[in-house]
Copies of this chain bind each other. A is one copy, B any other.
């Protein structure tokens, strides 16, 4: 139905092979022939059939990506970075979503392997604990890179951020600014929220600072937890100097609660958080926070998998890369 190489060949009275080669700019073919073939291809609206090409060639230049949730800016921003590099390097991306379900994750892996992707980039679901399915990928020698979340088992390449270190860094910074009375409203402690809380506690301990129990609120990554969290702290009596929030959404709730109490940020109380830029910068006054360069993560993850693919036969040591996070000084810290 569609125009194919043999149609071009027929029209020109040459063999299909010549067409293939001309289209590939093979040195085998004369320049005039190439020009002629390409022109006819253009005229006939020829579009190559990648399916057929992939069946022959070992490489598809296609990468499979598995994400827990596409509507989460953290992930979508990572994907954006991946797409930039993929495009530059002429790779395609097939994006799938696991919705935090382990079974969906496995299904996606099978689907992507079926599609003959050259490699896999996966951000695991929160409850992926066994390596089983990934062992199968490894057995097939399919390059695989984990990104964006800590990996529960070893023996795989990965790239991501370290929430513990980020929180420690932010806490150290607060301390260096002379703050000692610091409260923490965490996100979900079963995931990143927990690591951030631990990082905070660790830094406090290292600096021999006391942590008021009323000032540790275990919440979730939503504004209402920040709002209620601050009110709990407020009602507990003494006010801390700083509220360290698990992320920007929590900070937003905290902002609202603080304003309701007619307090001023940062004059009366400071607020800081760990988050990615876009959100944090939307608050007034602008939040001082630790930025996770998500787009960079996406770029680097893509570069890593491409490198793994293109050096497939050489012996490759496993890499576990932790990217730097950045402290952004804005107006919410006195």
Contact = CB atoms under 8 A, between A and B. Distances in A.
A77 interface: yes
A318 to B, nearest CB: 22
A249 B70 contact: no
A83 B71 contact: no
A48 interface: yes
A56 B249 CA distance: 50
Given A49-B114, A113-B47, A114-B47, A83 B55 contact: no
A111 B83 contact: no
A111 to B, nearest CB: 7
A131 interface: no
Contacts of A278: 71
Q: Looking at chain A's contact residues, is the secondary structure mostly helix, strand, loop, or mixed? A: helix
Given A49-B114, A51-B51, A249-B282, A79 B70 contact: yes
Interface string A295-310: 0000000000000000
Nearest to A55: B51
A114 B50 contact: yes
B50 A116 contact: yes
A116 B51 contact: yes
Contacts of A256: 284
Contacts of A52: 55
A76 interface: yes
A51 B140 contact: no
A147 to B, nearest CB: 16
A71 to B, nearest CB: 5
A331 B75 CA distance: 32
A181 interface: no
Given A249-B282, A256-B284, A284-B256, A51 B48 contact: no
Interface string A50-62: 1110110000100
Interface string A261-288: 0000000000000000010001010000
20 contacts: A2-B140, A45-B139, A47-B113, A48-B114, A49-B55, A49-B114, A49-B116, A51-B55, A51-B115, A55-B55, A70-B83, A71-B77, A76-B76, A80-B97, A93-B96, A94-B94, A94-B95, A223-B282, A223-B284, A252-B282
8 A-B pairs with the lowest CB-CB distances in the bound complex, closest first: A256-B284, A50-B114, A51-B54, A95-B95, A71-B76, A70-B76, A51-B55, A50-B115
Interface of A: 2, 45, 47-52, 54-55, 60, 70-71, 73, 76-77, 79-80, 83, 92-97, 110-111, 113-116, 136, 139-140, 223, 227, 249, 252-253, 256, 259-260, 278, 282, 284
